[in-house]
Amino acid sequence: MNIHTKAVHAGDRKKQGDHIPVTTPIYTASSFVYEDIETTDKVFAHEVEGYAYARYDNPTNHALEELCTALESGHGSLACATGMAALEMALRTALIDRRKKVVAANALYGATMNLLTKVMEPFGVETTFVDICDFEKVAAVIAEEKPGAVLMETISNPLLRVGPLDRIANLTKESGAALIVDNTFATPMLIRPLELGANLVVHSLTKYLAGHGDVMGGVIVSDEGHFEALRTLSRTYGPALGPFEAYLSMRGIKTFPLRMERQCRNAIAVAAFLRHHPRVSKVNFLDDPEHPDAVTLQRLLPNGLHGAMISFELKDAGREEIFAFMNGLKMIVKATSLGDVHSMMLYPAMSSHRDLAPKQRERLGISDSLVRLSVGIEDSADICADLNQAL
Ligand SMILES: *Cc1c(COP(=O)(O)O)cnc(C)c1O
C-alpha cells in the first residue's frame, strides 16, 4: 500500500464490543480488567492478547504504534514520551546483549551527542565518532572498534549530509552490530531504513510526523529480531508516551504524507530562490547536483523528494548580521524544532550547536553565518517574500 493510504488507515478501526470507532479514542485507563481473573492471568503471561497496565501498552498507543510500523515497514514499534527517550531505548535494546560500544556519526542532533557522551559514557558505554559519509573510514572504524551498535541520522543537521545507509547496513550485518537510524529529518516519505537493512529506526514524533508544533513524542520502529527485547525493556524502563500525545500524534500522521509532499515541493522553490540571492553565499539542500553526497542521494532518494530542510550562509555575516536578518523575518517562526506546518528558522551557533566550542563548530563546518530553515506548508512565494524582505 502507498504511504498516503497507510497514513489514514493503519492502526485505526478496531472493533469495540458491537461497534467500530472510526478513529481510535484516547484511553486514559491505567489498568485493564477482564471478566475473570484467569483471563487477566493469561494476559499477564502473554498467552492471550490484551492490555494489563498502561506502562506496558494501551490501545491508543497501540494504534499509533501499528501506524508507525506500517509507515516504516517494520515488525513492531514502541511509542515513547520524546524522541530522546526513544533514542535511549533503542541504544539500550541494541546493546543489551552486545558489546557496550557504539560507533556514531560525528554530526548528530545535539541532544543525541549529549546522550552518548554525558549519559551513556559515564555508565560505561563508549562511543567512537566517525564521518558517516566516508564509507572506507566507517568500515575501518567498525572493524577496529567492533561496536555493539552503529548510530546515524539519515540526513544530518544542519549541513544535510547523507551517509550510505545501505552499504553501512551491509557492514553491520556482517559484523553483528545493530544499526540504529534516526530518520526524523528524512521521514518514511523519503527513505525507509528498515527496508535497507537497519535494525531500529527512531523518530522524534514532535517533528514531521505529528507536524503541528503541539505535541512531544518519539517512536522506535523495530525489525523482528529486536522487537521482543524492546518491549520487555520498556515494561521496566517506562518511557511510554501518554495517551493524549499518542492521539495527537496519530491525528497528525494522517496528513503527514500530504504535508511532507508540499513541504518538499516548497523547499525546492525556496532553495532556488536563495541560490539566486546576492546576500546568500552558500545553500545546502539535497537537490544540488553538486551535493557532496550526490552519488548516495541518487541511489537512496531517487523519487524527486529532497526533504524540506535547507541551511544557508549569508555573505560575510556574523552573529550580529544574522540576528538582524532573523529579527527582520515577519512570518517565518524563529524557534527551535522543525517539521511543523509553519516555516521555522534557527541559528545553529546559538541553539542546536551552542554548547560546542567555536573551534569544534568550525571543524564540523557550522559557521557563524549559517542558518537553518525548516520549510512549512505555506505558499512558497510567501516564504520567499518573507526571506527577501529580511535579507
Ligand atoms: C528533535 C530531534 C530529536 C529529539 O526529539 P525530541 O522529541 O525533541 O526528544 C532527535 N533527533 C533529531 C534528528 C531531532 O530533530
* Res 276: pLDDT: 96
- Across the range 115-144, mean pLDDT stands at 96
* Res 200: pLDDT: 98
Nearest CA to ligand 1 atom 8: 83
* Res 40: pLDDT: 87
Q: DSSP 3-state assignment of 76?
A: strand
Which of 151, 206, 209, 248 is the pocket-test mutation for ligand 1 (most atoms within 8 Å of CB)? Answer: 206
Beta bridge partners of 76: 222
CA 137 – CA 103 distance, rounded (Å): 11
- Across the range 338-353, mean pLDDT stands at 90
CA 248 – CA 206 distance, rounded (Å): 10
* Res 336: pLDDT: 86
The C-alpha cell that represents 376 in the structure block? 512549512
- Domains, the chain, with CATH or none: 3-253 (3.40.640.10), 256-390 (3.90.1150.10)
The secondary element (H helix, E strand) that includes residue 171 is helix 165-175
Beta bridge partners of 201: 181, 221
Banded pLDDT at 169 (limits 50, 70, 90): very high
Distance 109 CA to ligand 1 centre (A): 7
User: Does position 194 have pLDDT exceeding 90, yes or no?
Assistant: yes
CA 199 – CA 180 distance, rounded (Å): 6
* Res 140: pLDDT: 98
* Res 48: pLDDT: 87
> What is the phi/psi pair of residue 333, to 5°?
-80, 125
CA 251 – CA 23 distance, rounded (Å): 9
Banded pLDDT at 43 (limits 50, 70, 90): confident
Banded pLDDT at 141 (limits 50, 70, 90): very high
* Res 88: pLDDT: 97
Portion of the chain with pLDDT greater than 90, in percent: 85
The DSSP line for 272-335 is HHHHT-TTEEEEE-TT-TT-TTHHHHHHH-TTS---SEEEEEETT--HHHHHHHHHH-SSSB--
CA of 339, closest atom in ligand 1: 15
| Three-state helix/strand/coil letters over 218-266 | EEEEECHHHHHHHHHHHHHHCCECCHHHHHHHHHHHHCHHHHHHHHHHH
* Residue 304 vs residue 295, higher pLDDT: 295
- Across the range 309-314, mean pLDDT stands at 96
Give the active site residues.
55, 109, 182, 207
The secondary element (H helix, E strand) that includes residue 59 is helix 59-71
Task: Kindly report, residue by residue over 212-240, the tens digit of the pLDDT.
Answer: 999 999 999 999 999 999 999 999 999 99
- Across the range 123-136, mean pLDDT stands at 96
* Res 286: pLDDT: 97
**Closest to 305 in 3D by CA, of 252, 253, 371, 258:** 258
Nearest CA to ligand 1 atom 11: 109
* Res 216: pLDDT: 97
* Res 355: pLDDT: 75
